[in-house]
Amino acid sequence: MNLELYIENVRVDLFKDEAITLTDSQQNIRDIGLVFAPFSQQFNLPASSVNNKIFKHYYNNDIINGYDARFRVEAIIKLDGADYKIGKIRLDSVSMKDNKAYAYKVVFFGNTVNLNDIFGDETISSLNPLSAYDISFDASTNDFRTAFTDGLQSAGVVASNTENRNVIVPLITLENYYSYDSTNTIVSPNLHNVNFFTKLQTELKPAIKSKRIIEAIQTQYNIEFNMVNETGITSFFGSDLFGELYLWLHREKAPITAPETTPPTFGVNTLQKNKKLTFADFTYVSGTNYLSGGNLVVSDLYEYTIRIAFQTSADRELEIITIDKPTNELLDYQTRITNANNFNVTLRNLSSGTLSSRTYDLEFRINATTTLGTIFQAKPSGVFITRTLKTDGSTVDTGTFGYSQFSLGSNIFIQDYLPNMKVIDYLTTLFKMFNLTAYTKRGSNKIYVETFDDFMSTGISRDISNHIIVNSNTIDRPVPYSIINFEYSPPVTQTSLRYLNQFSQQFGNLSYSAPEKYDGQSYNVQVNGQRSQLINLIDENNDLTGLVYAWWVDAESKTALGSPYMFFNELLDASDYPITSSAFDQYNAPSNVTSNGSHTLNFGIEFNEYNGNLNENSLFSRFYSQYIVKLFEQQARVVKFTAQLPSSIVLNYELNDVFIINGQEYYINSLTTNLLTNKTELELITKQSGYTASLLT
């Protein structure tokens, strides 16, 4: 096979005897919590004239604007002229001989592996596209109440179905334990007659549809997932199952009221008026127009000073926060007491840092308490930008921009309440819960996400008997673990702690043991997520009402936090047992079970709090049982072969294919291909039975 490597569409020179080894592995049975993509170990490229030009003589640090090894660059490995692997190259070092460059050491990474690099340590609260789902707490809009009784598509737009029910306020109370008494004789908080507006809503927080988070990740990071079914490929993120999944917006357990306030309030911050502005909201007035499409481009020659001025009432305590939206970097934070009719603040200077140029997309957020005046009148020129030389600080030019009158509003900014969770951790949690697999297809940058069962059920069979090198092969036992534990984060809510005390096991978890106690060790699949047993209220006649809610307090009845909480939403019919003094006949409630009962978020069999029946459609049953049970089969083996595969197979195989060797079918566990010798080391799993597709409705 003819091997070629292209870096940013330029063919590079290769050493004739350099071994380039790539490994493909889907979900290695020795670590079922991992999902891999193609990768290569470090290999060397000669310091030829062609390669020196590509890497801009990286060994010479005197070169200005040379090769920036901090970033990976696009690369393609070709076999016999056809694209084999598409990914990125990272330059690690340069080897020198006799004071001359000899070789560049690089690493090739497959497309899916670099998700960690794309997301970095950024949290889901940095997902700016989610601002499209900000809602209002203002009584005139009724957004909060509507999100509780119906759900919202966006601010002011009532949801009409499950698909567009983007923002909800589920009945998850942060303080009070509620009973139900239609006669209103009980002393304890009564869900039948509690005032929603003055009491209940003060201990509730919103939730957002998980699908909207995935869409925001796509937009923010310019990546694409398969959101709809394609021929032979089932979309998990586009499934009915995923469409019912929500993330509760609970970041902190501390009250939002001041320490001296009695009683404290634990829900959303209703005491703050606020407003978000961006450069795109300002209009050019005079001077130099630095803004292009709402962005400010800063070169390494200059610094920019920004001063904002508005007319407002005197003696107002205001807070202004400035962030750069693309990076979510906090650029400035100031608290000011305004002078008479003047809110005037100068932000810190902006520069390109270590970059030759940086593009800023700023967001200015103004906060004030509800007791203060909230009307702002922009001055004829509300924003002043001054450009100065970095060398001596001298002014080059200035520009002014204006804005019309506005009021601070009672806005609920979704990003303020998202759990403290990294983007990559959010995706990892989903992958572990539903046993998902991610991969890319040749010729496409789209990231395909399927359940492992769906992926494995669509592979094709390839007979490679004639390509096996029959010197020797190795047969290993496939099960290094005799017990596999599926575990959520430790329980924090009182109901789940009571469950643990009563049954000596954690709600939602599962410990899977092999049918026979053979030799092995324990392995834990740990999910960064919370499960909580829900409460089905009993009325004054000791009858179940079917009114379900979550009580988010700890063993001491104090507001709990815990890990991020995902749940299926149930738009619950309360017509037989209306709730609150407003007699709502429906509301959004958390559920561990989908609306049709086909799925639960528990790894094991648990009671459905809504009907009291055992539900066996667990995460293990739906998404892990086929995979795990196959590993525990008595006849299962891991077999290792060496093969000389032709390019027709190397270029076209997928990791869900079935290889046939002398009539025996095998699943692929891993392949390691030496692109110099064309030899492939195969680690295969004997196929005893096939996979069936997942039920996702």
Over residues 557-583, the mean pLDDT reads: 97
Residues 507, 578 share a domain: yes
Reported as a pLDDT band with limits 50, 70 and 90, residue 141 is confident
Is the pLDDT at 662 greater than 90? The verdict is yes
Give tens-digit pLDDT for 616-647.
Answer: 999 999 999 998 777 667 677 889 999 999 98
Domain limit, last residue, from 98, 115, 132:
115
Contacts of 311 (CB under 8 A, 6+ apart): 341, 342, 343, 376, 377, 378, 379
User: Is 692 among the domain residues?
Assistant: no
Beta bridge partner(s), residue 308: 345, 383
Residues 680, 640 share a domain: yes
User: Is 558 among the domain residues?
Assistant: yes
Residues 318, 216 share a domain: no
Give tens-digit pLDDT for 161-199.
Answer: 999 999 999 999 999 999 999 999 987 899 999 999 989
Residues 346, 249 share a domain: no
Give tens-digit pLDDT for 67-122.
Answer: 999 889 999 988 888 888 888 899 999 999 999 999 999 998 876 656 777 888 89
User: Is 265 among the domain residues?
Assistant: no
Contacts of 669 (CB under 8 A, 6+ apart): 25, 26, 28, 29, 638, 683, 684, 685
Residues 185, 141 share a domain: yes
User: Is 415 among the domain residues?
Assistant: no
Reported as a pLDDT band with limits 50, 70 and 90, residue 41 is low
CA diameter of the chain: 94
| Backbone CA torsion sign across 76, 684, 461, 467 | positive
The closest of 212, 219, 214 to 166, measured between CA atoms, is 212
Residues 402, 360 share a domain: yes
In the prediction, which pLDDT does 477 show?
65
Contacts of 230 (CB under 8 A, 6+ apart): none
Residues 493, 448 share a domain: no
Do residues 565 and 557 lie in contact, with contact meaning Cβ atoms separated by under 8 Å?
Answer: no
In the prediction, which pLDDT does 362 show?
92
Range of the domain at 588: 116-256+420-434+483-519+528-623
Residues 320, 292 share a domain: yes
Residues 236, 109 share a domain: no
Domain limit, last residue, from 57, 84, 115:
115
Over residues 8-27, the mean pLDDT reads: 84
Instruction: Report the b/e string of 428-448 with b at 16+ CB within 10 A.
Output: bbbbbbbbbbbbbeeeeebbb
User: Is 213 among the domain residues?
Assistant: yes
User: Is 148 among the domain residues?
Assistant: yes
In the prediction, which pLDDT does 75 show?
92
Residues 131, 252 share a domain: yes
In the prediction, which pLDDT does 39 show?
61
In the prediction, which pLDDT does 36 show?
47
Residues 211, 87 share a domain: no
Is the pLDDT at 20 greater than 90? The verdict is no
Rounded to the nearest integer, the mean pLDDT of the chain is 88
Domain limit, last residue, from 587, 606, 623:
623
User: Is 597 among the domain residues?
Assistant: yes
* Structure tokens belonging to residue 326: 């693309």
Residues 225, 190 share a domain: yes
Q: Total structural domains in the chain?
A: 4
Is the pLDDT at 311 greater than 80? The verdict is no
- H-state helical runs in 477-587: 494-503
Give tens-digit pLDDT for 450-507.
Answer: 999 999 999 999 999 999 997 667 777 665 567 889 999 999 999 999 999 999 999 9
Q: What is the CATH number of the domain that holds 359?
A: 2.60.120
User: Is 678 among the domain residues?
Assistant: yes
Q: Count CB neighbours of 23 within 10 A.
A: 17
Taking the CA atoms of residue 64, residue 65, residue 68 and residue 70 in that order, the dihedral angle to the nearest 10 degrees is 90
Residue type, 50: V
